[in-house]
Amino acid sequence: MKNRHSDPNIRVRFAPSPTGVLHIGSARTALFNYLFARHTGGTFILRIEDTDRGRSTIESENNIIEGMKWLGLDWDEGPDAEGPFGHYRQMERLGIYKKYAQKLLVENKAYHCFCKPEELEKEREAQMKEGIAPRYSGKCKNKSKDEAEKLIALNTPHVIRFVIEPKKIIVNDLIRGNVEFDSSLFGDFVMVKSDGVPIFIFSNVVDDIEMKISHVIRGEDHLSNTPKQILVYEALGAVPPQFAHIPMILGPDKSKLSKRHGATSIDDYKNQGFLADAIVNFISLLGWNPGTDQEIFTREDLIKQFSLERIQKSGAVFNIEKLKWLNGNYIRNLKIDKLTELCIPYLQEASLMVLAPSEKELARLEKIILLEQSRIQTISEISGHIDYFFKEPQIDQKILIPKKGNAETTKKALDASAVFIMTIDNADFEANKLKDIWYKFCEQNNFKPIEVLWPLRAAFTGKEASAGAFEIMEILGKEKCVERINRAISVL
Ligand code: GLU
């Protein structure tokens, strides 16, 4: 969905490493990039950063892609939408990184390093002992090119290190303002590993240059990589993009959101019965706000109102209750046939249904689900709310007796109801009519409505809370109602 106006100069990307499933934090990064692109009429790119070969998996990549599709975050260029700057998987772009690394080597902005891991470890330990922050000594920087070439010809394992120019670097971040770093503390970092695969800091910059990325919108955890990346841009003679580091997502205890706080993957939320639109709405507000009281946004609203200026610096607290509340709102706005379709797998999982419903069963099911549409906050709650329509409820004496009532009056009310219900015409077995009929019955028999309606409802459902007695009666039908009233009488 591109905006009316379009700006060819705005190009943003979501660049996940497929080392795990799509989680709330990465989905929000994707969303902010998507919204910024759609708001400005720019281009939204999906780039898979799979250079960490030990940890990257195709399952994670698929999960991320499926999750984005489910959330409706469609991209303009990406692995399955090759554009003019493809490929969009880093492992398919190794030749490009090699070319860039070569350029830096030729210009003495990078060098081959032959230090063995054990040597580096010793160096590290010694520095730690002296209380210095560990960093590479720069030993191999002084090797002549001839010497390096000879070692390479002998197949000596080596990496490529980037030459850090010691200086003050100011990251001019669109969200955080100016953040200053001292690069003399960094040490020459490894930009290409011994297997020839680049590390993220380097390949990420090369791709952002090649793909003409204008804005890098990513998590604040990457802020510390930014000064190194700025040095790489400078060394390559390229202008860095604008950076916008978005605040961390925090748990209710204000520490970084993690599994410890509960589910974090988009799949988990999907399985629990959260709707994609509700999640998009919810995560849009994790760090961004429109400057008004509005809390419910259609996708169009979000696209229209989103701006980087309104992203906050401080951490964004993840409030599950708010997500549930939003989800409840979205559930209420679903058409009943859509909601029913979403509920069916949960009912099957709870063994309340086995086969796909027939047309007649579907009509009944829609009526049942309509009763609960405004009472559930997640789709997965549905089974626990409507199970009594599919199996006999367990009836506990305690539940049958209303708060101020007792067993004796409850039994009397149910006995009278069991007799009375038989006299009701089948044609009158409809919620509205039943309501009038039962209120009249209470009046004529000197029952307070609660003395009759509470135990009836409890007899039908076995629950302390549920939809109203008349709506339930209409769906259960006379015979089932009589049967359940009699069962309830037997436990009193
Ligand atoms: N692959 C990096 C990550 O998943 C991307 C960081 C960036 O957006 O620049 O964190």
pLDDT tens figures, 253-304: 999 999 899 889 999 999 999 999 999 999 999 999 999 999 999 999 999 9
Q: Which class in CATH covers the domain with range 93-246? A: alpha beta
Residue 235 CB contacts under 8 Å (≥ 6 apart), including other chains: 104, 107, 109, 110, 162, 163, 165
Instruction: Kindly tell me if the per-residue pLDDT of 31 is higher than 50.
Output: yes
Considering only CA atoms, which residue is closest to atom 4 of ligand 1? 16
pLDDT at 119: 93
Compute the C-alpha angle 442/448/450, nearest 5°: 105
Question: Tens digits of per-residue pLDDT, 33-63?
Answer: 999 999 999 999 999 999 999 999 999 999 9
Mean pLDDT for all residues in the chain:
96
Residue 256 CB contacts under 8 Å (≥ 6 apart), including other chains: 248, 249, 250
Distance 78 CA to ligand 1 centre (A): 15
The topology (CATH level 3) of 397-490 is Arc Repressor Mutant, subunit A (1.10.10)
Q: Is 366 in the pocket of ligand 1 (CB under 6 A)?
A: no
Residue 308 CB contacts under 8 Å (≥ 6 apart), including other chains: 36, 174, 175, 215, 217, 244
| CA–centroid distance for 213 within its chain | 25
Cβ contact 161:110 at 8 Å: yes
Domains 93-246 and 334-387 belong to one CATH topology:
no
Instruction: Kindly tell me if the per-residue pLDDT of 2 is higher than 60.
Output: no
Q: Is 49 in the pocket of ligand 1 (CB under 6 A)?
A: yes
Whole-Å CA distances, 107 to 228, 391, 417: 18, 77, 94
Instruction: Give me the mean pLDDT over the 18-32 stretch.
Output: 97
Provide, rounded to the nearest whole percent, the portion of the chain with pLDDT above 70: 99
Instruction: Kindly tell me if the per-residue pLDDT of 17 is higher than 50.
Output: yes
**CA-based nearest residue to 323, from 350, 344, 295:** 295
Ligand 1 mutation pick, 11, 13, 17, 89, max ligand atoms within 8 A of CB? 17
Instruction: Give me the mean pLDDT over the 104-117 stretch.
Output: 97
Question: Tens digits of per-residue pLDDT, 413-459?
Answer: 999 999 999 999 999 999 999 999 999 999 999 999 999 999 999 99
Q: Is 16 in the pocket of ligand 1 (CB under 6 A)?
A: yes
CA-200 nearest atom, ligand 1:
1
Distance 218 CA to ligand 1 centre (A): 7
Q: What is the CATH number of domain 11-90+249-317?
A: 3.40.50.620
Considering only CA atoms, which residue is closest to atom 10 of ligand 1? 16
Distance 226 CA to ligand 1 centre (A): 11
CA-14 nearest atom, ligand 1:
8
| CA–centroid distance for 91 within its chain | 26
Distance 238 CA to ligand 1 centre (A): 20
Instruction: Kindly tell me if the per-residue pLDDT of 82 is higher than 90.
Output: no
Q: Is 229 in the pocket of ligand 1 (CB under 6 A)?
A: no
CA distance from start to end of the chain: 62
Q: Is 223 in the pocket of ligand 1 (CB under 6 A)?
A: no
Question: Tens digits of per-residue pLDDT, 375-403?
Answer: 999 999 999 999 999 999 999 999 999 99
Distance 128 CA to ligand 1 centre (A): 29
Known catalytic residue at 259: yes
Burial of 43 (0-12, 13-18, 19+ CB in 10 A): buried
Q: What's phi and psi for 249, nearest 5 deg?
A: -100, 130
Q: Is 19 in the pocket of ligand 1 (CB under 6 A)?
A: no
Residue type (1 letter), 240: P
Q: Is 211 in the pocket of ligand 1 (CB under 6 A)?
A: no
Neighbours of 191 (CB within 10 A): 25
Question: Tens digits of per-residue pLDDT, 461-483?
Answer: 999 999 999 999 999 999 999 99
Distance 203 CA to ligand 1 centre (A): 11
Strands (DSSP E) found in 184-228: 190-192, 215-219
Q: Is 216 in the pocket of ligand 1 (CB under 6 A)?
A: yes
Q: Is 204 in the pocket of ligand 1 (CB under 6 A)?
A: yes
Provide, rounded to the nearest whole percent, the portion of the chain with pLDDT above 90: 95
Catalytic position from the list 69, 145, 259, 440: 259
Instruction: Kindly tell me if the per-residue pLDDT of 81 is higher than 90.
Output: no
Rounded Cα–Cα distance for residues 42 and 438 (Å): 63
Ligand 1 mutation pick, 28, 47, 49, max ligand atoms within 8 A of CB? 49
Question: Tens digits of per-residue pLDDT, 350-363?
Answer: 999 999 999 999 99
Position 3 confidence tier, pLDDT thresholds 50, 70, 90:
very low
Position 331 confidence tier, pLDDT thresholds 50, 70, 90:
very high
- Where do the structural domains in the chain lie, given as residue ranges? 11-90+249-317, 93-246, 334-387, 397-490
Instruction: Give me the mean pLDDT over the 110-136 stretch.
Output: 94
CA atoms within 13 A on the CB side of 304: 5
Instruction: Kindly tell me if the per-residue pLDDT of 404 is higher than 80.
Output: yes
Cβ contact 193:220 at 8 Å: no
Rounded Cα–Cα distance for residues 346 and 274 (Å): 12
CATH architecture of structural domain 334-387: Orthogonal Bundle (1.10)
Ligand 1 mutation pick, 34, 222, 225, max ligand atoms within 8 A of CB? 222
Considering only CA atoms, which residue is closest to atom 6 of ligand 1? 15
Instruction: Kindly tell me if the per-residue pLDDT of 5 is higher than 70.
Output: no
pTM metric for this prediction? 0.93
Distance 14 CA to ligand 1 centre (A): 8
